[in-house]
Amino acid sequence: MGLLVLEFMAMTGKTVKGLVEEVYNEVGPFAFERDDLHITEAQKQAVIKACKERAYKAFGKYTVKDVEDVDGWKFVFGDEKWVMIRASGTEPVLRVYAQSPSLAECREILEATKKVIL
């Protein structure tokens, strides 16, 4: 991956910062955060069951518009905002990821998700 970035830098004459700014200009700003929730195995299984049954319709003010279940459960809110719940296969941990235009909103999404699932 590093060599690919260096190749782009050589081809465009841009710095890494310049390349990142180009991406943001193309796709808009976004932020990404993750929380690892250390819970009991029973809690983990209850959340997995609810995800499989599509029981979650909203996380706080964020209404679920679509669910993708390729590698965990990704709850799409629209406007480039989503939360994903992935269960560890080896320990009682849920990994909860969020994406939105700002880091502050990612934290808000993660906190709302924790309130619903725990």
Assigned domain for 62 exists: yes
In a domain, residue 98? The reply is: yes
Domain range for residue 92? 29-117
Contacts of 65 (CB under 8 A, 6+ apart): 76, 77, 78
Amino acid at site 54: R
Average pLDDT of the residues of the chain: 95
8 A C-beta contact, residue 30 and residue 86: no
Structure confidence at residue 30 (pLDDT): 86
Span of 14-18, 34-38, 88-92, 94-98 with lowest mean pLDDT: 88-92
Beta-bridge partner residues of 84: 74, 97
Residue (of 100, 20, 88, 30) closest to 61 by Cα position:
100
Burial class (CB in 10 A: 0-12, 13-18, 19+), 67: middle
CATH number for 107: 3.30.310.50
Taking the model in full, what pTM does it have? Answer: 0.82
pLDDT band for position 16 (50/70/90)? very high
Confidence band, pLDDT 50/70/90 cuts, at residue 67? very high
Mean pLDDT, rounded, for 27-52: 93
Q: Over 90: is that where the pLDDT of 50 sits?
A: yes
Residue 77 lies in a domain: yes
Q: Domains in the chain: how many in total?
A: 1
